[in-house]
Amino acid sequence: MIRKIFAQDLSATWKSLSSTVGILMLVATVSLVISVLEVPVLGGIGLGVAIIAMIALTPIVLGILAENYWRTMYGREGYFTMVVPATGRALFSAKVLYGIAASLAAVVLTALGLFACAAVFAQSVGQDVFEFLRLGLEQLGASMTWFFVGCVVLQLVYLVIVGAGIMSVGARARFNHLGFGAPVIGAVLMYVAVTVVGFAAMLFVPLGARLTGPDAGSFVAEGMFRTFVDEVAGGTSGEAPEVFGLGILFVSVAASCLFAWWGARSVQRHTSLR
């Protein structure tokens, strides 16, 4: 049943996703061509337009997925969805899995588009494209590159699960009179909570990445509390922090697990379409 719901979501969002992504890719491609050809006036801004289009692609896809989730679960198509012979947990799981798959596909397209932008930039400054990209990846380091990729994937999973969970919790009977305002309020409260807890985790959880010195880019068993204290005291004003705390990653994982359980439970036991 999960596979059927997944396929239904794909069918329901295919046109809007493909048209939106197609338009953004077309804008980026035309802009890069204009930049490569050095068209007067427009050539100078072509690269910037392409970068903006590629960066905007994934957030726009996430917005389309969020609209589809709300419409098919609690909007005008919600009654049809709820008569499907599947448990609430299966409905929630299928839609979340589809959201994760679609958002990961979007971020892959974004990465490819940004690589194309980097190639055009390298050409504009007279550097070999492959050498430019290789030097950039070497400077970041293999371990840090893969860590960055993992963080992007984790953040996408977090956004999809927490977004779906907040909408499902906000659709309970006690919040039903607020309509879509309930998940909006929930998202604001969630943002504040994650910001506060995440900042504390960055300070005190003993896991961080060193940003300065000969071992820059390495992982250390240290938060950024000492760096934060030095910054507040004015000892490192204007300097890059020595350590960037990674404790916020644990907050993202914990929030994802919490809202995966809470959202599925809300669909299973507390859905109200009144």
pLDDT the model gives residue 210: 79
Vertex 11 angle, CA 5 and 16, to 5°:
130
pLDDT the model gives residue 236: 53
What's at 68, amino acid-wise? N
Rounded distance, CA 66 to CA 68, Å? 5
What's at 83, amino acid-wise? V
**Which alpha helices (DSSP H) does 125-247 contain, by range?**
129-140, 142-170, 181-204, 225-233
pLDDT the model gives residue 154: 93
pLDDT the model gives residue 99: 93
Query: What backbone phi and psi angles, to 5 degrees, belong to 206?
Result: -75, 65
Where does the chain show beta strands of DSSP type E? 208-210, 219-220, 243-245
* pLDDT tens over the chain, length 274 residues: 677 778 888 888 888 999 999 999 999 999 988 888 877 767 678 888 999 999 999 999 999 999 989 888 887 777 677 777 778 788 888 899 999 999 999 999 999 999 888 888 887 777 777 777 777 777 666 777 788 888 899 999 999 999 999 998 887 777 777 777 888 898 999 999 999 999 999 989 888 887 776 676 677 888 888 877 777 776 555 566 678 888 899 999 999 999 999 988 888 776 655 5
